[in-house]
Amino acid sequence: MNTADAALAIAERLLDPHRVATAAPSYGIATLADGLPGTALLHARLSAVDPVFGAAANAHWNAAAEHATSAIGQGAGIYGAMGGLTASLVLGSPYLPDPDVTATATARSVSWLSARAADIAALYAESIRVGGAGTSWHVYDTISGLAGIGRVLLAAVVGGNAVAEPGLIAALTAMTTMLTDNGVPLPGWWVPTEQHPAVVAARLDHSGAADTGLAHGVAGPLALLALAHCAGYTVPGQQTAIRDAVAWLERWRADDHGWPDHATGEELDDGASITRHGRRAAWCYGPLGIARSLMHAARALDDALLTEAARADLAQLGALRNDWGIEAPTLCHGYAGVLRCATDLHAGVAERAAAGVAQSLDLDRPFLVAHVEHGISHDNPGFLTGAAGVALTLSDLAGLPSHPVTTPWDAVLLIA
């Protein structure tokens, strides 16, 4: 089975929204991470291949909207329900033969997301005013915070949806404040231990942590600020914040092979170098996602040396002959994520990742490909750790036709 056939075979197994909803975890049916918004995005991307996919995209969006009404309390993050549906509509609709068929729903969703961004930014500004200690992932990160929300709003603004601009400016202002060096050891994105999700907090000491990666660390807000700058959307101090974030990442690099997943509060206070590594090869953490963020920063700053440094990070990964520590073929911390990060930047890494995805295909699995976590296979249909994300990656790798778009689907990963 070649790459194009694999992408289409996965998509065909994901055509029925009821089947997707049944296979998704109950908490994730309406989310971009696990459910219908992710499969809708896949089908929209493939709508130029066959009209059946365009019809499926609309069916999945409608089903997602029905399920999202019971998930309204999940927050505004773009991998949740309402935020995820908005992201899927904003990035998916332009792939359709007639994007106007979703114009009303998209405008309504964007208006909601823009207002939520302004709310989050206002709460963050108030916490700074009263001297609050630290922040949380839900304020700033790609998955649940303003980095991801801001990226979707930027795509909406660039696509002509002016109602997104107030929320975008609010997000840029908040992230500029957060990333600007304030002259103390703990950076603006330091999160107290108790503010982390419980499963993460259990692995931290009492001093909290400042994360590095693209999913939950400084690389996400950095990518947003840089991408917005390149698109012509800036707020006062934005370029300085970009420089400060780049400098912080360079300061806390473990060695030529990458970064720790985080620096603890005690390590930040002490200032000593950290030698431990986080993930070697993943979108969410480690040199791949961070390198993509640094590439965006290099364009924003017109810094050729930074471009070379980011490419060198990928070259170091390509030179590793031992196992990358990858179990899954999926996007978040699997081969598909490596492939999307390395595409157009390092052919060797991309080819090795593509081979990893191909070797994971299994005709006996319900969606042809399964996510693997701690040795256990999961038949997830969704975007982040599921079949839809793999199929999107394979669609681009195969060069399957698509209608021209201003912002590609992987903007939701802040890769673009």
Residue 286 is predicted with a pLDDT of 86
Residue written as token pair 């720790």: 260
Instruction: List per-block mean pLDDT (blocks of 10 residues) for the chain, which spans 416 residues.
Output: 97 99 96 98 99 98 92 81 98 98 98 98 96 94 98 98 98 99 95 93 93 98 99 98 98 85 95 82 92 97 95 83 85 96 92 96 97 93 98 98 98 98
What's the sign of the alpha-carbon dihedral 400, 157, 212, 35? negative
Say whether 209 sits in a helix, a strand or coil. strand
Q: For residue 207, what are the CA distances in angstroms to 9, 275, 365?
A: 48, 18, 43
Note the pLDDT of residue 72. Answer: 64
pLDDT attached to residue 321: 66
Q: Is 230 annotated as a binding residue?
A: no
Residue 142 CA: distances (Å) to CA of 3, 77, 177, 229, 335? 29, 8, 17, 17, 20
Residue 300 contacts residue 226 (beta carbons within 8 Å): yes
Determine if residue 341 is labeled as part of a ligand binding site: no
pLDDT of 314 reads 85
CA angle 374, 378, 383 (to 5 degrees): 105
- 333 assigned to a ligand binding site: yes
- Domains in the chain (CATH in brackets) are 3-413 (1.50.10.20)
* Strand partners for 376: 373
